[in-house]
Amino acid sequence: MADKPQSGNIFGVPYNFERPSVGRLLSSYWQPGKGMLVEKPFGIGYTINLASWRSWVVLAVVAVLLWNERQGEDDVEDMEDDPVEVIIDD
């Protein structure tokens, strides 16, 4: 039986199942001169390139959205204890 390839593309999506090394892991997340998305060092698909300023903008937006969502959960918990007045017009 022939050995299966450890890396390649399936329908245009890259995959790599070679055993990762520390150097390959670090170099895959920091690739100056490349786009915002780069191939993952292990697994299927893409990951963000931390050398790109666009990646930092995306991470900042995600952090703000998560922070805002957590703040909203605290407000909802405070509102659950307060009575609600319902007015019905005939």
Q: Report the predicted TM-score, pTM, of the whole model to 2 decimal places.
A: 0.64
Cβ contact 13:44 at 8 Å: yes
Q: How far apart are CA 38 and CA 27, in angstroms?
A: 11
Burial 33-42 (b: 16+ CB within 10 A, else e): eeebebbbbb
pLDDT tens, per residue, the chain with 90 residues: 567 888 888 899 999 988 888 988 888 899 999 999 999 989 999 999 999 999 999 999 999 999 999 887 766 565 566 777 888 987
CA atoms 58, 60, 66, 69: torsion sign: negative
